[in-house]
Structure 1
Amino acid sequence: MNDRRIWWFFIVPCMLVAVAVVMSLAAVFQYSFREFVPGSLETGGFTLDNFYSIGRPVYFLVILDTLLISFLTAVFCLLLSYPVAYALVRTQSEWVRTLLVILSITPLFTGEIVRTYAWMLVLGSDGFINSTLMALGIVSRPVQFMYTKFGVIVALVHFSMPVMIIMLATAVSHVNRDFEKAAANLGAAPLTVFWRVTVPLTMAGIVASTVVIFAWTMSAFATPQLIGGGKVLMISNLVYLQGLSSFNFPIAAVLSAVAFIVAVGSLALVQPFVTRLERRVAEQ
């Protein structure tokens, strides 16, 4: 089999999948230009009013909450994942590396709903955290973790950390250790070497992984649905309520389009920045 046939062997399935995805998105987005008919599963004629309805507080505040939760999840995920990724790459102990790999990768083999239910047991009024705090006498009554943005963010950070660790570990592994040794030989302290050399050299990976987690978190459904309990809504939950509870398919389609545009747009906007960082690092 020649090279051209090999390329077509991989390209044709990818093209078919891409066409199917584009057609599916087009089928969903066309509802955003249709008029909602209350009490009917059928939609009306062409209208742009659905896009103006997004400015209503009931929708706009959910969009803002989604952006805020996704941003905070990405930031906290970065702060917690970077030390793990750094230790995973730089440790000299094989058993420590193996342990970190197991702890980092194992959650990927557990379903989102299973992990979310586990966090419900941890964050609940009679859960592990509240039971421990009350047993130690720190609080006299359970602290409200469930049905709050804090609880949703905690569960989403745990859900996203494996992917973040893998991406950051890749970035750290590509750092040229000679730069760190040169800085140390010039008298820089280990912490200074880390902040002034290692972190800047992994900045492309930091930016890319943060944006990926931000875009990925925007589509979260099960975690905010269960941990939020209807009090903390994200765009996916609102799409579910509008599309399958109220049968307002046009508004559900508009909300889906907003989430899609923000997620894809953030990835597209950051790509030139990451490319410049990688080029700058390569030139050093």
Structure 2
Amino acid sequence: MNIDRRLALMLLAAPVLFILAFFAVPFGVVVLESLHTSGGAWGMSQYVKLFSSWFYLETLWFTFKIALWVTVASFLIGYPLAYYMTRIVTSRWLRRLLYIIVITPLFTSNIVRSFGWMILLGRRGLVNDTLLATGLIDQPLQLLSNELSIIIGMTYIMTPFMVLTITAVLQNIDTTLEVAARDLGANWLTTFTKVTFPLSLPGVVAGTLIVFTLTVSAYVTPSILSGGKKTVMSMLIFQQYASIFDFRFGATLSVTLLITTLLLITLYRLAGKPCARKPEQGIAT
């Protein structure tokens, strides 16, 4: 074994041990815990309990539905903003200012941001007061304690991750490719759809995966903005561990959420492979 290989193994040793100690081993414990019955014997009764109840299945579906909507909303907001920052803005100081504006919310606690949205979306909050003052509505809208409030709050929290991920890819795309497309007669829309967007797909895929997985596991924002009227899987898991003290069923919920998320991510990656192709050559009007 040469020196370079030994050095590489030594450098890999620390992160591998860290992953084993703080992820693999705890996850293995959780999996084993979920395979025990309430009496302590081995069995699948906890999974039978989960999949035989519509309440838990509906909660699982609601969790992924929220994550999907947040991912779509973050993409629709984040991609144009990332494109504007990397392609439209030419001033260096203005671009830095936009980066600061995007990054600054990440330094604020999710709890603070969630309570901020409670103030904005309340019956006497800024949104309802503005709509009432302009005469667009006659009575305050119910914007809190529902699915919409969770989507709004989570989109606000997750959009910076989408922007930063897509921006990192867009700023590394060779602009001469876009110039060449325009020289060949392509308009802005054709250049974007045939060159820029396909080349930025790695950032889109990475951003959507980050937003989706973080939203699926989010606890603070859904629990605050839902007002207890809507339940996601993370809230159920917390209840099982902290309130009911049913660690075995809490482990079952955790394993089911993780495995289902990994399965959906795998299907998403497989479905996205055919789309990850190079821009078409010979662009013409």
* TM-score for the superposition, normalised by structure 1: 0.89
Deviates more, 1:209-218 or 1:4-13: 4-13
Unaligned runs of 5+ in 1: 37-42
The answer for the alignment partner of 1:14 in structure 2 is 15
AA in 2 matched with 1:54: L
* Deviation for aligned residue 1:216: 1.6
Do 1:74 and 1:157's aligned partners in 2 also have CA atoms closer than 8 Å? yes
- Alignment equivalent of 2:92, drawn from 78, 84, 94: 94
* Deviation for aligned residue 1:179: 2.2
* Deviation for aligned residue 1:33: 1.2
Do 2:194 and 2:280's aligned partners in 1 also have CA atoms closer than 8 Å? no
Distance of 2:227 and 2:117 partners within structure 1:
13
Distance of 1:205 and 1:195 partners within structure 2:
15
Equivalences for residues 14-33 of structure 1 within 5 A: 14-20=15-21, 21-33=23-35
Distance of 2:9 and 2:201 partners within structure 1:
36
Deviates more, 1:15-24 or 1:215-224: 15-24
| SS of corresponding position for 1:17 | helix
| SS of corresponding position for 1:54 | helix
The answer for the alignment partner of 1:60 in structure 2 is 57
* TM-score for the superposition, normalised by structure 2: 0.89
Unaligned runs of 5+ in 2: none
Equivalences for residues 1-284 of structure 1 within 5 A: 3=4, 6-20=7-21, 21-36=23-38, 44-55=40-51, 56-90=53-87, 91-271=89-269, 280-281=277-278
* Deviation for aligned residue 1:26: 1.4
Do 1:204 and 1:274's aligned partners in 2 also have CA atoms closer than 8 Å? no
* Deviation for aligned residue 1:95: 2.8
Do 1:113 and 1:222's aligned partners in 2 also have CA atoms closer than 8 Å? yes
Do 1:134 and 1:140's aligned partners in 2 also have CA atoms closer than 8 Å? yes
AA in 1 matched with 2:97: L
Describe the shift of the 1:266–1:174 C-alpha distance in structure 2 as closer, same or farther (beyond 3 A). Answer: farther
Do 1:215 and 1:264's aligned partners in 2 also have CA atoms closer than 8 Å? no
Describe the shift of the 1:69–1:213 C-alpha distance in structure 2 as closer, same or farther (beyond 3 A). Answer: same
AA in 1 matched with 2:248: P
AA in 1 matched with 2:160: P
Distance of 2:279 and 2:7 partners within structure 1:
32
* Deviation for aligned residue 1:97: 0.3
Distance of 2:214 and 2:257 partners within structure 1:
10
Distance of 1:205 and 1:148 partners within structure 2:
31
| SS of corresponding position for 1:232 | coil
* Deviation for aligned residue 1:150: 0.6
Spell out, residue by residue over 1:195-223, the C-alpha distance to the aligned partner (whole angstroms, 9 max, x if none): 23211221222122212211121000000
Do 2:198 and 2:279's aligned partners in 1 also have CA atoms closer than 8 Å? no
* Deviation for aligned residue 1:82: 0.4
| TM-align CA RMSD | 2.2
AA in 2 matched with 1:159: I
| SS of corresponding position for 1:281 | coil
AA in 1 matched with 2:201: M
Percent identity, please: 32
* Deviation for aligned residue 1:226: 0.2
